[in-house]
Amino acid sequence: MTLEETPNPATDNPLLDLAYEPFLENLGDDYYDIVTAADFPLHRLRFRNDDLLAKIGLNPATVRDDDLIEAFGQFRGVRPFLALRYHGYQFGEYNPQLGDGRGFIYGQLRGTDGKLYDLGTKGSGRTPYSRTADGRLTLKGGVREVLAGEMLHRMGVRTSRCLTVIETGEQLWRGDEPSPTRSCVMVRLSESHIRFGTFERLHYLGRKDLIAKLVDRTIAQYYPEVDRANADPVVPYAPGDRPSSTEKYILFYAELVKRVAKLAAQWMAAGFCHAVLNTDNMAITGESFDYGPYAFIPRYDPQFTAAYFDYFGRYSYGNQAPICRWNLQMLQVPLRAIADSQEMDAALEPFYDYYNREYRRLMLAKLGFAEGFPEETGTELVKTTIALLQQTEVGYHEFFWQIRKQFDRHWWDDVNQILPNFSDEEVVTHWRQCYYHLLQFISVDELEMMTERLACYNPETVIVRPEIEAVWEPIALQDNWDPFYHLLKRIER
């Protein structure tokens, strides 16, 4: 290579040379505070997501562990770090004292898919929103968030995912972990950290102008289809008067309703209980994020609650769709600055239609079926499946795994071949008949596709709590990370 051909990067760390885009920064400082990162006594890379490095246009082989530590542990950043301001309804009570208290936006950049992504931190130190807390994330919290993102991604849920987890060598005190406990800093890639609560705060402050600006920018950036469908000029908002509701804003809200309804259906089909669906944990893109006390359900139980502090089951597994709908309804309050209330009500109306359609589609896919048979027949099978899951002792994920494992073309010929070793309880017999009935709409050639679909929708491993504890224990006791890395591999199968 001649001297002229030698690449001459600004730094030798490819992460610092990425084309970061200041979308959030350009909103102006009404929406964030510029903050600094904590200085940590130790930086040990515990997790790197090479899949995501590729997604942001990097060849993972060219990114060294030290590069990741420099950017996402020592925070040699290229842009100001923004702690975003937000409020939110927490367990139904409005809390005006929130905001990024232990994280910030490190930067934003385009994925290879052309979409803008946030790199957001968690556990990176105190900010003006930390209140009395330490601004830190426990190592176990980081490990759990990695696992949730990867598992949900594997199950086809629209979700944020962790890019890195770096252990930081501090001792933290927590009421819900044996303490002192180890610390880490996590960086996650998500579609956006703009939350429902971001708009709620602006309403609380009476800043309709800032709401209008944020909605316009949100639509332009994250709802291009709405922007294209309705090329209305941006409504200039003069404080004091009320802009007329343009179709664009209703289309945006209607699309958000659809995305959130689908997300709730995705969680339900995945057997996932998010656990803390406060409005500050709802992204304006309709993406799932913030994995704290979540759990994958061991058995089908609508009342299953994952957070020990959720005393009344507000965020129980079975309450996720109604709560998402309630959150969408509360979002109408700030959005009234730019959109008509009745029109938003009308846009919220089909929430359960979207939800039910997506849930039915996903449950049928978990059973191996695509659309293409009478609607009632499919609905009947889904209902019978739920009845079986409720009335027998079978585990939620175990049941679908067994279908995937045992599926055989003979099921198509003979109803008694379907899960032959399963019990003969009445509900199971009825389920077999429904399943067999639906199979009769399938041609032999399509059976191969069913096998593929079963593999796609039903992973071999689902991280119910004992699975997570089983990988955490060796980390906690012997600093042995192998079971964790092994579990990450198993999740992919």
What is the binding site for ligand ATP (CB under 6 A)?
Answer: 98-103, 122, 129-130, 133-136, 276, 280-281, 290, 292
Q: Which residue of the set 67, 100, 216, 280 is catalytic?
A: 280
Tell me: is residue 169 an annotated ligand-binding position: no
Hey, which residues between 245 and 284 contact Mg ion (CB under 5 A)? Answer: 281
Handedness of CA 265, 270, 273, 274 (dihedral sign): negative
Handedness of CA 428, 433, 437, 439 (dihedral sign): positive
Give dist(CA 283, CA 158) in Å, integer: 11
Determine contact, residues 299/396, Cβ cutoff 8 Å.
Answer: yes
Least Å distance, CB 46 to ligand ATP, is 18
Give dist(CA 313, CA 394) in Å, integer: 23
Q: Which does 397 bind (CB under 5 to 8 A by kind): ligand ATP, Mg ion, none?
A: none
- Which range touches Mg ion (CB under 5 A), out of 53-61, 146-154, 290-298, 316-324? 290-298
Q: Which does 200 bind (CB under 5 to 8 A by kind): ligand ATP, Mg ion, none?
A: none
Least Å distance, CB 258 to Mg ion, is 23
For ligand ATP, which is the closer residue by CB, 27 or 194?
194
For ligand ATP, which is the closer residue by CB, 25 or 100?
100
Least Å distance, CB 137 to ligand ATP, is 7
For ligand ATP, which is the closer residue by CB, 158 or 430?
158
| b (16+ CB within 10 A) / e for 250-279 | bbbbbbbbbbbbbbbbbbbbbbbbbbbbbb
Q: Which does 343 bind (CB under 5 to 8 A by kind): Mg ion, ligand ATP, none?
A: none
For β-strands 105-110 and 116-122, DSSP reports them as: antiparallel
Least Å distance, CB 475 to Mg ion, is 24
Asked if 290 interacts with Mg ion (CB under 5 A), we say yes
Determine contact, residues 303/273, Cβ cutoff 8 Å.
Answer: no
Q: Which does 181 bind (CB under 5 to 8 A by kind): ligand ATP, Mg ion, none?
A: none
User: Which residues 6+ apart lie within 8 Å of 15 measured at CB?
Assistant: 58, 63, 67, 68, 70, 71, 72
Tell me: is residue 207 an annotated ligand-binding position: no
For ligand ATP, which is the closer residue by CB, 70 or 290?
290
Tell me: is residue 13 an annotated ligand-binding position: no
Render 147-183 in DSSP notation, one character per residue.
Answer: HHHHHHHHTT--B-EEEEEEEEEEEE--TTS-SSEEE
Tokens linked to 277: 């669906």
- Kindly list the distances between the CA atom of residue 487 and the CA atoms of 50, 145, 366, 460, in Å, as whole numbers in the listed order: 16, 14, 22, 11
Q: Which does 153 bind (CB under 5 to 8 A by kind): Mg ion, ligand ATP, none?
A: none
For Mg ion, which is the closer residue by CB, 181 or 281?
281
Handedness of CA 165, 167, 172, 176 (dihedral sign): positive
In angstroms, how far apart are the furthest CA atoms of the chain? Answer: 78
Closest residue to ligand ATP in the complex (CB): 101
Tokens linked to 341: 């209330």
Q: Which does 23 bind (CB under 5 to 8 A by kind): ligand ATP, Mg ion, none?
A: none
Tell me: is residue 383 an annotated ligand-binding position: no
For ligand ATP, which is the closer residue by CB, 245 or 288?
288
Asked if 167 interacts with Mg ion (CB under 5 A), we say no
Known catalytic residue at 280: yes
- Which range touches Mg ion (CB under 5 A), out of 62-70, 188-196, 267-275, 287-295? 287-295
Q: How many chain residues interact with Mg ion (CB under 5 A)?
A: 2
User: Hey, how many other C-beta atoms are within 10 angstroms of the C-beta on 373?
Assistant: 17
**Which residues participate in the annotated binding site?**
99, 101-102, 122, 134-135, 188, 195, 281, 290
Annotated binding site for Mg(2+): 281, 290
- Residue numbers of the site for Mg ion (CB under 5 A)? 281, 290
Positions marked catalytic: 280
